[in-house]
A and B are shown apart, each in its own frame.
Chain A
């Protein structure tokens, strides 16, 4: 970034010939620019142009009037959203689930990658890897179905086992406020933790083996090697993935939560996404949904900026 700044200031002071040389540079790398074009077009068409639709959040969008024809209402939808009694409940539910998935699920993917990395038998390693990737390809509907069969109080496998072993009553896993969050996180770990190891494993494969040799020479144990060689080597990857994860901090798996929600656990389970679906889409209130979505994006944006600043403070590169 700094080099680019320098070149810009230079061209500003220099004469016409250098402007020509800049053009010549452009010309020289023309094929690289051409390669960039499709990607650029993609971002403009599918990422930037749709941003225009955000004005919907400040209008009372009526489908038959169209986006331009609808009436401007300023911050009305935001006022309704922030003003409703359940706002803080939604906010807390979303934040807590986001937090749990970040502090529990995210480290587990790293630990799992480290464990896989320590396996010496290549065949066995591949076998385990494939096995832990499989759940990722199941849809949430299937997983919700499995959870139901295992956990229902009416003859669910786990509840039958609990009843059989302790002789006590069935645990209301599916219809209680206490079990909702653990359930969601456990499902998330079961489904996606294996898949989440992929990037870490790639990073681990890139660690210079000479470092391990040197550490062994110095008499470092397996644990010491892990702590002083492996982890520092993949630190930047961890930081980048962590920052990116914060960007979607509030985007919890809509489908997963929606499928697990019911009357009893709604007070801890309703998050922004399910609320938007229920109120916004099912009732056709597009402007209101957009306002809530915009709010979520702003929170995600702020989190990314903050995390990036923090990462730089600790001497890491960050994502930009």
Chain B
């Protein structure tokens, strides 16, 4: 063996080490567990390190270690390590994260926890079951019982639901335009139609140009907004009659609602490119004063107002939730929560750790934290006047507090806990409307039931219906074509889903 031989062996060894390190990289599945603070229960003064992955609806994630985050950390004695993922991306990333097994201590679900991969993961013991534990926490247990029921899997709770009002869908409109035209607040569907017509044809912005349109509609996350089926008497998603389940779209009332929307489209009272428009463009049209009405939820009307006023300081917004239609006063009842926060067993090893995390969320609902999350930092986001909080700038609060911390982290409703505020008219109306809507809210009977087929094929099936709606509105198919699409939906799995729901409902009743 000469020197060259050693060189060769050396080179081989380098190769092997390289290979070894790559392989080691593949096998690092166990590591996240090691990151979890196992010793925390003993050294209780040490801040608890919490890693979370959350969905995010804002524009920009604030820098780590900002004032708000520090305030939360100080109060709860934690060290937060938050990963914000845009909601539009979150739903695709969540199954991959679950599949990789590398999960943080707290992870949000993608909307309602009813996807097949999530159900099977929960049933397979990936996440902690907190059904019993949650009752021990003063604030967390104050959640309305209905909210828990709507996110349970087999009667078990696998995460803390993030509360939001049960009925929250509204139409936000330009109140200043309405004034310009001398119209009154719409109360019925006919009023809405008249308003849209006037917004389109009567130059509501008084600029002498015919450059406005009534509604800016959009398809987002496989949902068409607006939807007038309910107002025409169609059920909310599913209807259960004598133990049989019928999909809303399969009812004649729904078709009437669709015809109403088609009328708006045909007469040019809504944007003609709603099928291909992006959310940014659709909302932009509303902001820029091109469109006068948009579908909104009670919690984002205020944000819309500040966005519109940025373009036009004289603009004023108002909203209406329940419009009386041929079917009476009806409004969608939602699940009452915006997804759940789950605790993967892979990173939360012991029940003691789980309890620490639960008490973190419990603490977030104490008065001091409630004020921080709902109002922000005193002097920066709000001021106290006669013991009432007054918001200084809606947009700053939205970007620095609401989107990054309030929306992803708040679980139980804080309205009653926080310092009462000196509210602007819209916020006051929101509280009123959310309360008043309870009597008009139409429940979705399938919400508490599980269907394997829906969990697996729900998105595909919904797509068939949404595509058919768009085609009908744009006149690509007629009523016969619509009925054919409904048949297609039924054959592709809709019928099976109805049967599974019926069976599930029957077994619940027994």
Binding site for B on A (CB under 8 A): 30, 34, 37-38, 41, 45, 62-66, 84-85, 148, 152-154, 174-175, 262-264, 266, 277-279, 281-286
Binding site for A on B (CB under 8 A): 8, 11, 15, 18-19, 22, 91-92, 94-96, 98-101, 115-118, 120-121, 124-126, 219, 271-273, 275-278, 281, 456-460, 463, 466-467, 469-471, 474, 476, 488, 491-492
Closest to B95 in A: A284
A85 touches B276 (CB 8 A): no
Within the complex, the shortest CB–CB distance from B215 to chain A, in Å, comes to: 13
Q: List 8 A-B contacts (CB under 8 A).
A: A85-B491, A152-B273, A174-B273, A263-B466, A263-B469, A281-B96, A283-B116, A284-B94
B124 touches A41 (CB 8 A): no
Residues of A contacting B275 in the complex (Cβ-Cβ under 8 angstroms): 174-175, 262-264
A282 touches B91 (CB 8 A): yes
Main SS at interface, chain B: helix
Residues of A contacting B471 in the complex (Cβ-Cβ under 8 angstroms): 263-264
Closest to A170 in B: B272
B116 touches A34 (CB 8 A): no
The 8 closest A-B pairs by CB, nearest first: A284-B117, A284-B95, A263-B470, A63-B99, A64-B124, A263-B467, A64-B126, A174-B276
Closest to A279 in B: B460
Q: Which of B115, B121, B459, B467 contacts A266 (CB 8 A)?
A: B467
B121 touches A148 (CB 8 A): no
Closest to A49 in B: B26
Residues of A contacting B271 in the complex (Cβ-Cβ under 8 angstroms): 154
Within the complex, the shortest CB–CB distance from A181 to chain B, in Å, comes to: 16
A284 touches B15 (CB 8 A): no
Within the complex, the shortest CB–CB distance from A31 to chain B, in Å, comes to: 9
Residues of B contacting A278 in the complex (Cβ-Cβ under 8 angstroms): 459-460, 463
A284 to B117, CA, bound (A): 6
Within the complex, the shortest CB–CB distance from A261 to chain B, in Å, comes to: 9
A283 to B92, CA, bound (A): 8
A154 touches B272 (CB 8 A): yes
A263 touches B492 (CB 8 A): no
A264 to B281, CA, bound (A): 19
A62 to B119, CA, bound (A): 10
Within the complex, the shortest CB–CB distance from A17 to chain B, in Å, comes to: 21
Closest to B458 in A: A283
A286 touches B95 (CB 8 A): yes
Q: Which of B101, B117, B219, B281 contacts A285 (CB 8 A)?
A: B117
A262 to B467, CA, bound (A): 8
A34 touches B8 (CB 8 A): yes
Within the complex, the shortest CB–CB distance from B432 to chain A, in Å, comes to: 36
A175 to B274, CA, bound (A): 10
Given contacts A34-B8, A45-B22, A283-B117, contact A148 B101 (CB under 8 A): no
Q: Which of B124, B459, B463, B467 contacts A62 (CB 8 A)?
A: B124
Residues of B contacting A152 in the complex (Cβ-Cβ under 8 angstroms): 273, 276-277
B19 touches A282 (CB 8 A): no
With a 10 A CB-CB cut-off, give which of A34, A38, A152, A154 has the most chain B CB atoms. A154
Given contacts A63-B99, A174-B273, A175-B275, contact A283 B467 (CB under 8 A): no
Within the complex, the shortest CB–CB distance from A93 to chain B, in Å, comes to: 14
Closest to B122 in A: A64
A284 to B100, CA, bound (A): 12
Residues of A contacting B98 in the complex (Cβ-Cβ under 8 angstroms): 63-64, 284
B273 touches A281 (CB 8 A): no
A64 to B121, CA, bound (A): 6
Closest to A144 in B: B278
Residues of B contacting A174 in the complex (Cβ-Cβ under 8 angstroms): 273, 275-276
A79 to B401, CA, bound (A): 50
Residues of B contacting A284 in the complex (Cβ-Cβ under 8 angstroms): 94-95, 98-99, 115-118
Residues of A contacting B458 in the complex (Cβ-Cβ under 8 angstroms): 283
Residues of A contacting B19 in the complex (Cβ-Cβ under 8 angstroms): 41, 45
B101 touches A63 (CB 8 A): yes
A284 to B110, CA, bound (A): 11
Q: Which of A153, A281, A286 contacts B272 (CB 8 A)?
A: A153
Residues of A contacting B121 in the complex (Cβ-Cβ under 8 angstroms): 62-64
A154 touches B99 (CB 8 A): no
